[in-house]
A and B are shown apart, each in its own frame.
Chain A
Amino acid sequence: MSVKLMIRAGLALLLATSGLPASARAYPTDPLGSPMWQAHARTLFGDDPVRFDPRVRVAFPAIAENQRVFPVAVDARGIGGVVRIILFADLNPIPVAIDYRPQAAEPYLATRIKLDQRTPVRAAVQLADGQWLVSGRWIDAAGGGCSAPPVSRVKGDWAQHLGEMRGEAWPTGPGASRLRVTFRHPMDTGLVDNIPTYHLEALTVKSGGGRVLGSMEIWASVAEDPAITLLPKAGAGEPLRIEARDTNGRDYRAAVTVAKQSAPAR
């Protein structure tokens, strides 16, 4: 790129960022200084009020040992009235990983995502009154989490295992449980080797009677072979149903009964 072109591109960028429509909402200044904060805030939050709040706990390891499988846990149990949790990484080509509505579940979500480069990893939780509380941190990562082929594509065995689900549910207190579900799924991002986007896109947890306890939309930035941990309000011995669907329309169904006895450490 010539210097002239670089200047032109730079000026265009300045214009683009300073020439926002007058009606655009002013979002709080990002403590992480992310170049994508304003853009993501506009897309995700629109005109809803937004503030940064450390009570939204976003926990992840100190290093991204594997940029294809980076564990993240979002815990908003310290906040009342949470209706929605969005997990996203600013600089991923597919920023949002999960958009979760804990209808009858504690506002907690743990999963694993891909990281395409050093990026803020954040959670935004929405309260019943519409306002969003946001928290997160930067994590350094080697490139390619979203743009390297999934292991099962390289091995070539993804189709033999597609649809395998594992899981278990443990009681954590009266009417409360911890559910873990894993899937075998390549979670293709569409950014690799002409392999089209193919990923789980929806998951619902229901009570035995069919009541929705939690539901989420899922994007391809969730790691291959997704693993999801939720805290549905279901007591010991109660049956849970898990229903999911991928972008090819394949349905996934599983049943788990909350164990009678628990051994959870927390």
Chain B
Amino acid sequence: MRIDRRTLLGGFAACFALPAIAAPPDYRIDPVAVADGIWMIHGADAPIEPGNGGAIANIAIIDTPAGTVLCDSGPSLRYGRALRMVAEKLTGKPVARVYVTHLHPDHGMGIAAFDPAIVAALPGTIDDMRRDGRGFSDAMYRMLNDWMRGTELVLPGQPIISDVEDFGGRRLRLIALSGHSAADLALVDERTGLLVGGDLLFHDRAPSTPTADLSAWRASLDRLAALDHKATIPGHGPFDPSGREAIAQTRDWLDWLEATLTEAVRSGLDMVEAGDLPIPDRFATMAAARYELQRSVSHLYPGIEARLLPRIDEPAD
């Protein structure tokens, strides 16, 4: 093959031109009414990937006399803007409050589309985002490219310090929990008894554990199970009209995960093998189960090894 200046230049031009050819992708946002004045947007029950633009988290839209309330905001500026348009059209009222349930970018990076003064999160979540937000942002840009265009890291401007917020008579109970992360917000609409569980609750979608404290998570599930709520919007996966199934399923997975990884370390498996262990049939309805098991091995295995494998070293000379 003869390489001359023109071929080379043409090649370079093609490389640079490619990204511009692709049209900016659009999010499909389909709110479904789940209770009186509450809609759920069901995120893709899949990993964050270019095909879904990172729109994997569930989002709640609540119509209140004081304006529209959003629980979580999606992964990007583009998503946040589209979400606001859809929500305001649905309720006919401007967005008055955006809650961020926890630090993860699929839930919180969409706040870039809103005035930080109306964005509220637990103080621990704001601290988490201040610490980890930049790294999450880098990872999202790497995975999602153009979907993320223009998305800046924004911190919620309103730390949540009370346990209830009243929107012109529609009262939302705010419950500060932890376990999926260091600070997890759950929320109950007093009028309908609907619980928005954030990522403390996964439903037919395997729980993810990058920042998990499993015993704190279990304690939080106890708290949620003891509530007098009706139905549940989980952080990921379909709406749970029973209000119980997502709680039970999340607990079942976490118990199985911890017991399985503990047994794997005890029986001498390495991380690759642990990530390939069979997943019980009862989790067959859970999307992304293998993917989350392998991620959890990465998050949890070295810690279990450090706890269970005995010291064997002899004193250095």
Could you list 19 examples of A-B contacts with CB < 8 Å?
A7-B9, A59-B272, A59-B276, A61-B271, A61-B298, A63-B295, A65-B210, A110-B270, A110-B271, A110-B273, A112-B271, A166-B306, A168-B312, A169-B268, A182-B306, A227-B270, A263-B267, A265-B273, A266-B273
Chain B 187-245 interface residues, beta-carbon cutoff 8 Å to A:
210
A196 at the interface (CB under 8 A from B): no
- Shortest C-beta distance, A74 to chain B (Å), equals 10
B309 at the interface (CB under 8 A from A): yes
- Shortest C-beta distance, B1 to chain A (Å), equals 10
Q: Which residue of A lies closest to B143 (CB)?
A: A142
Q: Across the interface, do A62 and B294 meet the contact criterion of CB distance under 8 Å?
A: yes
CB-CB under 8 A for A253 and B268, given A66-B298, A69-B302, A110-B273: no
Q: Across the interface, do A251 and B5 meet the contact criterion of CB distance under 8 Å?
A: no
Hey, which chain A residues are within 8 Å of B95, CB to CB? none
Q: Across the interface, do A250 and B316 meet the contact criterion of CB distance under 8 Å?
A: yes
Interface SS, B side = helix
Q: Across the interface, do A251 and B316 meet the contact criterion of CB distance under 8 Å?
A: yes
Q: With a 10 A CB-CB cut-off, give which of B139, B309, B312 has the most chain A CB atoms.
A: B312
Q: Which residue of B lies closest to A244 (CB)?
A: B313
CB-CB under 8 A for A163 and B313, given A71-B270, A264-B268, A265-B269: yes
Hey, which chain B residues are within 8 Å of A250, CB to CB? 316
Q: Across the interface, do A11 and B305 meet the contact criterion of CB distance under 8 Å?
A: no
Hey, which chain B residues are within 8 Å of A163, CB to CB? 313, 316
Q: Which residue of A lies closest to B135 (CB)?
A: A142
Q: Across the interface, do B291 and A63 meet the contact criterion of CB distance under 8 Å?
A: yes
Q: With a 10 A CB-CB cut-off, give which of B267, B272, B276 has the most chain A CB atoms.
A: B272
Q: Across the interface, do A264 and B267 meet the contact criterion of CB distance under 8 Å?
A: yes
Q: Which residues of A contact B (CB under 8 A)?
A: 3, 6-7, 10-11, 14, 59-63, 65-66, 69, 71-73, 110-112, 142, 163-170, 178, 180-182, 225, 227, 229, 242, 250-256, 262-266
Q: With a 10 A CB-CB cut-off, give which of B210, B297, B309, B317 has the most chain A CB atoms.
A: B309
CB-CB under 8 A for A71 and B272, given A11-B3, A163-B316, A167-B310: yes
Q: Which residue of B lies closest to A223 (CB)?
A: B302
B75 at the interface (CB under 8 A from A): no
- Shortest C-beta distance, B138 to chain A (Å), equals 8
Chain B 296-316 interface residues, beta-carbon cutoff 8 Å to A:
297-299, 302, 305-306, 309-314, 316
**8 smallest beta-carbon distances between A and B, as pairs:** A71-B271, A110-B270, A166-B309, A65-B298, A165-B313, A254-B312, A73-B272, A61-B294
Q: Among the listed A11, A164, A170, which residue makes an inter-chain contact with B313, where contact means beta carbons less than 8 Å apart?
A: A164
Hey, which chain B residues are within 8 Å of A166, CB to CB? 305-306, 309-312
- Starting from the known contacts A169-B268, A170-B268, 19 additional A-B residue pairs (CB-CB under 8 Å) come to A59-B272, A65-B294, A69-B298, A72-B272, A73-B273, A110-B271, A112-B271, A142-B138, A164-B313, A166-B305, A166-B309, A166-B312, A180-B268, A182-B305, A225-B302, A251-B317, A253-B314, A254-B314, A255-B312
Q: Across the interface, do B272 and A3 meet the contact criterion of CB distance under 8 Å?
A: no
Q: Which residues of B contact A (CB under 8 A)?
A: 3, 5, 8-9, 12, 47, 138-139, 142, 210, 264, 266-273, 275-277, 290-291, 294-295, 297-299, 302, 305-306, 309-314, 316-317
- Shortest C-beta distance, B15 to chain A (Å), equals 11
Q: Which residue of A lies closest to B290 (CB)?
A: A62
Hey, which chain A residues are within 8 Å of B314, CB to CB? 253-255
Q: Across the interface, do B272 and A110 meet the contact criterion of CB distance under 8 Å?
A: yes
Task: Please report the C-alpha to C-alpha distance between residue A166 and residue B265 in the assembled complex, in whole angstroms.
Answer: 12
Hey, which chain A residues are within 8 Å of B12, CB to CB? 3, 6
Q: Among the listed B142, B302, B310, which residue makes an inter-chain contact with A227, where contact means beta carbons less than 8 Å apart?
A: B302
Task: Please report the C-alpha to C-alpha distance between residue A71 and residue B297 in the assembled complex, in whole angstroms.
Answer: 10
Q: Across the interface, do B270 and A252 meet the contact criterion of CB distance under 8 Å?
A: no
- Shortest C-beta distance, A122 to chain B (Å), equals 15
Q: Across the interface, do B142 and A142 meet the contact criterion of CB distance under 8 Å?
A: yes
Q: With a 10 A CB-CB cut-off, give which of A71, A255, A263 has the most chain B CB atoms.
A: A71
Task: Please report the C-alpha to C-alpha distance between residue A63 and residue B272 in the assembled complex, in whole angstroms.
Answer: 11
Hey, which chain B residues are within 8 Å of A169, CB to CB? 268
Task: Please report the C-alpha to C-alpha distance between residue A73 and residue B269 in the assembled complex, in whole angstroms.
Answer: 11
Task: Please report the C-alpha to C-alpha distance between residue A72 and residue B297 in the assembled complex, in whole angstroms.
Answer: 13
